[in-house]
Amino acid sequence: MFLEKFSAYSPQDFVFKIATTPEDLDGFYRIRRDIFCEEQGVFSVDDRDMYDEAMIPIVCKTILAGMEDSVAGVVRIDERKPGVWFGSRLGVAANFRRIRHFSPGVAVRNQQPCYHGLGALGAGLIYKAVSTANAIGCHEFLATVQHQNARFFQRLHWEPLEEIMLHGLLHVKMRADLSYYQPAARVA
């Protein structure tokens, strides 16, 4: 008998949604802590700040056997002035950063475009964030993006405004082209 090597299972079905359950929120904060505290060392113990009090947490979850499973990526949005929204703390769990393909149902289920190639989950989270804010009265959507990710955002119809230092790292303040991010058909 020959034992053949097989690759680890990699889900290809996802949902992008506002985090509403305790499990969603646990995964949301766990991924932020894993990325911004453990992996990048930007914060020592926790990355929570004043914007968490009024934020809308958005998650990307895997779908297995037709049911939501684990949180694979996160982003938060908040309104800082009337009509001016910010996106921040975008992150994808390390084991989901190389997702290149989605199942055909992802675009239909999420009622948003599907991105293929590296960064697919991040792009989906960005679309969900901006389109959600756009549906609830956003007239300007901004983010401060780590410098190494600015080109990725530009490919997704974002304009760089200025470079700034934030938490000891070079960031680029950017603005989304709202005409590209149609208001979400479903906000929840």
Residue-wise pLDDT tens digits, 7-38? 666 778 999 999 999 999 999 999 999 999 99
Strands 140-146 and 158-166: unpaired
pLDDT (0 to 100) of residue 2: 63
Bridge-based pairing state of the strands 84-92 and 140-146: parallel
Average pLDDT, the chain: 91
pLDDT computed for residue 186 by the predictor: 65
pTM of the predicted model over 0.85 = yes
As its CATH architecture, domain 14-176 has: 3-Layer(aba) Sandwich (3.40)
Q: What pLDDT shows up at residue 188? A: 58
